């Protein structure tokens, strides 16, 4: 049974981590999104007996190498500085480049694709592709690996053991002007 409650502290019972993950996986995603859309803001008391039956599969944890862009503004500013360009010159260049770069991030997807192609072509025309890739690899090799949790999946079913509780919850939601 789910009833709307005025205000209390949310107390979380201690449950087995495998059960918690199986519940999350079994009713998460689209089902959770749909349930959220059906609820008005507020707090709800939930009192229902459910049976969760199936297999929870937890994959091995792994690591991955950092792949985000390492060549950020500070890197570019240092390159320009070491090339002998003054602070004012660097600021002017960065403003001009930022305007050109940002022009490719607005507009339709086709406009963005054209801008991305132009940026890639400019780097290729300057002959910097190999140099930038080498720098990216050199810096990435020095970064610590990023831990990645193993994939979790649940194959099974969730059954409400007390059908009247689910019906009462729907009635409460209907009484509050929300459909379940």
Q: What is the pLDDT of residues 140-179, one digit of tens each?
A: 788 888 899 999 888 888 887 876 656 666 666 666 665 5
Looking at residue 14, what is its pLDDT? 64
Looking at residue 163, what is its pLDDT? 64
Sign of CA dihedral 163, 165, 168, 169: negative
In the numeric block, which tokens belong to residue 72? 């950020």
Looking at residue 62, what is its pLDDT? 94
Quick check: helix, strand or coil at residue 174? helix
31-166-52 Cα angle (round to 5): 60
Total-model pTM:
0.47
Regions in the chain scoring below 70 on pLDDT:
1-14, 67-71, 104, 163-180
Looking at residue 7, what is its pLDDT? 42
CB burial of 42-76 (b: ≥16 within 10 Å; e: otherwise) equals eeeeeeeeeebeeebeeeeeeeeeeeeebeeeeee
């Amino acid at each position: 049974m789910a009833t709307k409650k005025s205000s209390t502290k949310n107390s979380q019972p201690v449950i087995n981590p495998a059960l918690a993950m199986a519940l999350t996986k079994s009713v998460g995603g689209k089902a959770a999104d749909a349930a959220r859309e059906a609820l008005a803001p507020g707090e709800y008391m939930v009192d229902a007996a459910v049976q969760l039956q199936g297999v929870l599969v937890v994959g091995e944890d792994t690591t991955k190498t950092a792949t985000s862009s390492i060549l950020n503004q500070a890197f570019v500013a240092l390159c320009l500085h070491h090339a002998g360009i003054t602070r004012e010159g660097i600021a002017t260049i960065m403003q001009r480049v930022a305007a050109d770069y940002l022009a490719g991030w607005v507009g339709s997807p086709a406009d963005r694709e054209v801008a991305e192609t132009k940026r890639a072509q400019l780097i290729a025309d300057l002959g910097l592709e190999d140099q930038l890739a080498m720098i990216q690899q050199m810096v990435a090799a020095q970064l610590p690996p990023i831990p990645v949790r193993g994939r979790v999946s649940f194959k099974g079913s969730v059954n409400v053991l007390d059908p009247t509780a689910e019906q009462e919850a729907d009635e409460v939601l209907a009484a509050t002007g929300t459909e379940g």
